[in-house]
Structures are given as structure tokens and as C-alpha cells.
């Protein structure tokens, strides 16, 4: 074996090979790579290049072996490690991505291919927000690979304009009509959502009695259990309808516990079992109530609008419903046609007043009339 040592690496020839090879160490591992040339000077140049890349942190010897599935694994491991509630949504995103990129290496996922994937998904009928979320999951995989040193660059991801801001909300009669079509076990959490604006899947359905203090009249969400990771308190005693709802749930739960001979930790349950998926029941109730197209998340917009109507200070309203930033809160502060009509009616009422109906306050006899620099006795004041 012929060899030549250069710094932290060496150039050598393998027995039976006409090409020169290079060897170098990186992060405690030894790498050997063919120069694909029988010219020793070219091999030495490749070695210098690799050593230079290592010196500036721009060397990823495993980059060509990183696959799409490696990116998926890095993202799902990261989500599990950090206890992210959106893990299921990310897994669904990768299910669609896998249909296009399952056998590819990370280096094969170019900007052109990503753009083609997005276009094809949208043409299939997928919502732009859904496609954007899928690409965001893949982009996260590239970011993790970059951070770990397994890749050196990330392709430019296509930008997708999302114009899907919902404006749905429930007027009081609409909510009552929907509630009348739901079974009692669902009517209770839906009513809680209507009154509080809390998130149904992550905040209401998992709610435990340990978080409810009926004597103090409050319900608490502990820090780390909400979407924005902040705790929250709702003073239910100040809202009689909500207080009565929870008292009724407590009575119902006590009866069910006696029947089963077991403790039921959930505030809202079906025969003692936690409620997890109610999409079918929701769709049927909305259809019977003539509210097709409404979604449970519309209760958040409804609660925000009701708080605005009641004149609740914005900072207080944000704390009650769990909005961390005012920009997000404003997206939920939907104004209805009735609100607009009431505003215009107030303007009309003002304009219908007689021209001379404004109250005139007579001036006192000693009030200064004229320029601010004149005295009431007619003499000029000194500057």
C-alpha cells in the first residue's frame, strides 16, 4: 500500500485499485473516500478540501446517506421528546409526504420537486393550509439534520399563500338550536366551550375535577397544559350559567361513580369514559340544526366577540380565552352584521337630532372673549 500523510489525514492506494484514496478523522470517526482519480495530486487536493471543510464546520460526510425516512424520524423523535400535542398532525403530514418521497435521499428533495409536490397536492383538492403544514413538517426535518451536522444545506421551500381565515361564530339562537340536537354528554362540554371560548380537544375534554374548585368558583388550567404553555383561570362563579353547568356535571359524575364503584376523574365524560372524538355526532347535529359548515373552533370566535360586546377590557379577555398576543386575538374578534347595523344605528340617531338641540352653556360675564392675549378690561396683556 502506497501512502502519503498530510496533516490529520493521509492519501493512499488500496491494493488492487488504481485510484488514490483519502483518509481523515471527523468527530471521533475515521472516514475513507475514493478520489476517483489515479492522479495523486488530485487525491491530495481532495484531502485538503475535506480538512478545510472540517475546520470551518462545513463537512457532513453522511449527507448522501440521509434519507427522507431519517428526516421523519428526527422530527417525530423531537416532538415526542418535547411532548408536543401536534404530533398526530405531523404524522398525518408525513403520511402524505411519504407517498411522494418515501424512497428518496434528503439531497434529492430539491426546490423544484417540493414545488411540484405542493402544486400536485393542491390540484388534488388539498387545502393550501394543509399543504403548507406538510411542507413545514419536512422543513423541520431539514433543520434538525442541519443542527446535528448530518446535512450542510436545506433546499428553498416554496412559499404558499394561505387565505383560509374563518369568520364563523354562533349567535345565541344558533347555539341553542345546535345544543338541542346533541346528546346530554356532548351538550355539556359544548356549552362550556360556548361560554368560555376554551379549546375543546386540548382544554375542555381533558379537564379533570382536580382542576375545578366549586367552593371557590374557579376552573384552572395548569402551566404547560395549554397551547401557549401558560396557565389560565376562569372565575365560573361570576357566570351563573357556567356555575350551574359544573354543579350539574358534579352531580352526574357522583351518581356514575356510585353506580360503577370507581372514581371518574373527567369533568365531561360518557358513562365515565373520557370523550375523545365527536366529529360524526357534531356533523349530524349541525345538519339537523341547519348549521352545516360550522366547526367547534367557531366557539372561540363566538366567545371573543361576546366579550367585546360586553365591553370587557382586551387584556382581560385575552387572559380568559387564552390568547397570548393581541394580533391573534384580533383575528378572533369577528364583527357580525348585527354589530355593524347597531353601529350605524347609533350614527343615525346622532344625525337625526335637531340642529339646535345641542346644549348651549352660556358664558359668564367675566369670561375672556377674543384673543388669548386680551384682558377682559380691553387692555392688552404683556407678552
Q: Mean pLDDT, to the nearest integer, of 246-270?
A: 96
Q: pLDDT tier at 312 (50, 70, 90 boundaries)?
A: confident
pTM of the model: 0.54
Pairing of strands 9-13, 20-26: antiparallel
Q: Mean pLDDT, to the nearest integer, of 217-237?
A: 80
- Return the percent helix, strand and coil in the chain, to nearest 5: 50, 10, 40
Pairing of strands 9-13, 3-6: antiparallel
Of the two residues 25 and 26, the one the predictor is more confident about is: 25
- For the chain, what are the domain ranges? 3-59, 65-147, 172-332
Q: What is the pLDDT of residues 42-101, one digit of tens each?
A: 988 888 887 877 766 666 666 778 999 999 999 999 999 988 878 888 999 999 999 999
Q: What is the pLDDT of residues 322-358, one digit of tens each?
A: 766 565 556 555 555 555 556 556 656 765 766 555 5
Domain 172-332 classification at class level: mainly alpha
Q: Mean pLDDT, to the nearest integer, of 154-178?
A: 81
Quick one: what percent of the chain has pLDDT higher than 90?
39
Of the two residues 359 and 171, the one the predictor is more confident about is: 171
CA dihedral 238→243→245→249, nearest 10 degrees, is: 150
| Average pLDDT in the chain | 81
Amino acid at each position: 500500500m502506497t501512502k502519503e500523510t498530510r496533516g490529520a489525514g493521509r492519501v493512499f492506494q488500496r491494493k488492487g485499485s488504481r485510484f488514490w484514496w483519502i483518509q481523515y478523522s471527523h468527530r471521533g470517526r475515521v472516514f475513507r473516500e475514493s478520489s476517483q482519480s489515479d492522479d495523486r495530486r488530485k487525491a491530495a487536493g481532495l484531502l485538503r478540501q475535506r480538512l478545510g471543510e472540517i475546520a470551518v464546520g462545513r463537512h457532513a460526510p453522511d449527507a448522501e446517506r440521509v434519507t427522507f425516512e431519517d428526516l421523519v424520524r428526527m422530527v417525530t423523535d423531537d416532538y415526542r421528546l418535547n411532548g408536543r400535542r401536534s404530533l398526530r398532525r405531523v404524522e398525518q403530514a408525513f403520511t402524505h409526504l411519504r407517498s411522494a418521497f418515501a424512497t428518496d435521499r434528503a439531497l434529492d428533495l430539491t426546490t423544484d420537486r417540493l414545488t411540484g409536490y405542493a402544486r400536485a397536492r393542491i390540484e388534488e383538492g388539498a387545502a393550501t393550509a394543509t399543504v403548507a403544514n406538510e411542507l413545514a413538517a419536512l422543513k423541520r426535518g431539514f433543520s434538525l439534520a442541519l443542527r446535528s451536522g448530518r446535512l450542510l444545506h436545506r433546499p428553498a421551500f416554496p412559499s404558499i399563500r394561505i387565505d383560509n381565515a374563518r369568520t364563523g361564530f354562533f349567535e345565541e339562537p344558533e347555539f341553542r338550536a345546535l345544543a338541542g340536537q346533541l346528546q346530554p354528554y356532548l351538550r355539556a362540554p359544548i356549552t362550556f366551550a360556548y361560554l368560555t371560548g376554551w379549546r375543546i380537544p386540548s382544554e375542555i375534554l381533558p379537564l379533570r375535577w382536580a382542576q375545578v374548585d366549586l367552593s371557590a368558583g374557579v376552573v384552572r388550567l395548569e402551566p404547560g397544559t395549554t397551547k401557549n404553555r401558560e396557565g389560565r383561570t376562569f372565575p365560573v362563579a361570576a357566570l351563573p350559567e357556567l356555575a350551574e353547568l359544573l354543579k350539574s356535571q358534579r352531580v352526574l359524575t357522583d351518581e356514575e361513580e356510585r353506580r360503577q364503584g370507581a372514581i371518574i376523574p373527567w369533568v365531561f365524560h360518557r358513562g365515565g369514559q373520557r370523550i375523545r372524538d365527536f366529529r360524526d355526532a357534531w356533523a349530524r347535529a349541525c345538519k339537523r340544526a341547519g348549521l352545516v359548515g360550522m366547526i367547534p373552533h367557531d366557539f372561540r370566535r363566538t366567545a371573543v366577540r361576546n366579550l367585546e360586546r360586553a365591553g370587557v377590557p382586551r387584556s382581560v379577555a385575552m387572559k380568559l380565552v387564552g390568547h397570548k398576543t393581541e394580533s391573534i386575538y384580533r383575528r378572533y374578534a369577528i364583527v357580525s352584521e348585527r354589530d355593524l347595523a347597531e353601529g350605524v344605528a347609533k350614527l343615525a340617531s346622532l344625525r337625526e337630532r335637531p340642529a339646535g338641540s345641542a346644549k348651549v352653556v352660556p358664558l359668564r360675564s367675566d369670561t375672556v372673549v377674543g384673543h388669548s392675549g386680551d384682558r377682559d378690561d380691553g387692555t392688552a396683556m404683556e407678552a
